[in-house]
Amino acid sequence: MSKHTFDQYAITSTVSRVVEGLGFKEPTPIQKQVLPAALRGESLIGQSHTGSGKTHAYLLPLLNQLDGEKDQVQVIITAPTRELAIQIQEEVKKAIQLAGKEEQWRSKLLIGGTDKHKMVDKLSSRAPHIVVGTPGRILDMVKEKAIDLYQAKAFVLDEADLMLDLGFIEDVDLILVRMDENVQMLVFSATIPERLQPFLKKYLTNPTHIQIEDNKPSPESMEHRLIPLRHKEPADVIIEISKAIQPYLAIIFTNGKDHADELADKLMSRGLETGILHGGLSPRERKRMLKDLQNLRYQYIVATDLASRGIDIQGVSHVINAQMPKEEEFYIHRVGRTARAGLQGTAINLYKESDLPLIQKLEKKGLSFEFFEVKKGEWKEVNAYNERQTRERHASDLEKKAKQMVRKPKKVKPGYKKKMKQQADKNKRKLKQERFRKK
């Protein structure tokens, strides 16, 4: 079978230099499917998990069609968070440098938290070929007439489901109505919620739908531990966990910023040096927090799901779910922050009885959970949540098998039912002994 390489795609020698410079040998599953469709100019919806290589899946074909001679915006890439926009812009700049096109290709980052008037002045002097940014700030620049997007050939919507959750899809809509209706649309999302469908139907006619399912829900080098809460406070359990682990960096997830603030306060009052990261922080606070994380000031950071998407925090060794998420996809995204680049990782989940349906769904997806409690800073293995059900099922199976082993007499005599029951009980004891010996 022939190996997939980038040579088979209709890319220019300039883009080949970028691929070589990045050290890519073989395309990832999402790249194998996105590259040919995007190079043909098709609009598409790409569905894949974090770390699948989607940024270069759309970036390489878009660079392939860039014309440095034309002094106009040709590609717009939107992201829901400033951090993700900054990361994409870094990849764009790296690719331009590897292509040897620093003089010919221009890219501009448009995000909030920067001087708006200065930005207008810079854009007015010379149009960038590639615009990377958050929808709100890009829309500001369009309204200020600092940039004209009508000539643009391609529009990328990255992390579309998160864009919807954060309420930015309206800004995206207001950008797109100012663009050519034949623009190539490249939409990427981990999930395609029903609420996103009206937007997709409005802007994409018969798009190519690419869904990557061959990724396992979680890396093989990951361990998933379940700890029952049993009316205990999450902060108390996490303090016990902190005595049993030595994380390089642990992200503690909650459902919502109020829970995050409350938990961080409790942990800090108990002496655990804890950072915090959620959508309620001001741009300055968020920038300082990310810098503190890079400088390894914290071993623990309390975060919301916003931090599990679009922010690349290096060196995460543990993910602790103080609250289990509502959906399987969010669990996958959270634990996807660890066990990256071949490193080991541990996901520790504090669960209630109401979380069992989610745990069962994740088990069906192939995740394997181990059950523990932490006492006096030590891990203690406990019975699984379904141990009783398993025992009852085994007992029922034994009963059935024992009865099957009893032969019904040809001639029925008085008391035969009692004798058959005695025989079945004897068989059951034998089966139990055999099972015990096997263990």
Name the class of domain 222-381.
Answer: alpha beta
Q: pLDDT tens-digit profile of 359-395?
A: 998 888 778 899 999 988 889 888 876 544 444 444 5
Q: Strand pairing partners for 45?
A: 187, 209
Residue 113 token pair? 């938290």
Name which of 18, 25, 23, 21 is nearest 59 in CA terms: 18
Do residues 417 and 400 make contact, with C-beta atoms less than 8 angstroms apart?
no
DSSP string across 369-385: EEEEEEETTEEEE---T
Query: How far, in Å, are 348, 352, 387 from residue 371 at the CA level?
Result: 10, 13, 11
First and final C-alpha spacing in the chain: 44
Structure letter (DSSP) for residue 46: E
Distance, in Å, from the CA atom of 253 to the CA atom of 39, rounded to the nearest integer, reads: 39
Inform me whether the pLDDT recorded for 335 exceeds 80.
yes
At residue 28 the predicted structure's pLDDT band, cuts being 50, 70 and 90, is confident
H or E segment at 55? helix 54-64
Do residues 134 and 79 make contact, with C-beta atoms less than 8 angstroms apart?
yes
What pLDDT is recorded for position 438?
Answer: 43
What pLDDT is recorded for position 414?
Answer: 65
Q: Specify the CATH number of the domain 6-211.
A: 3.40.50.300
Q: pLDDT tens-digit profile of 54-108?
A: 899 999 999 999 998 898 999 999 998 877 888 899 999 999 999 999 889 999 9
Helix/strand/coil for 332:
helix
At residue 148 the predicted structure's pLDDT band, cuts being 50, 70 and 90, is very high
Beta carbons within 8 Å of 230's beta carbon, 6+ residues apart: none
The mean pLDDT value for 262-291 works out to 87
Ranges of beta strands (E only) in 37-106 are: 44-47, 75-78
Residue 211 token pair? 């869904």
Strands 378-381, 369-375: parallel, antiparallel or unpaired by DSSP?
antiparallel
What pLDDT is recorded for position 432?
Answer: 58
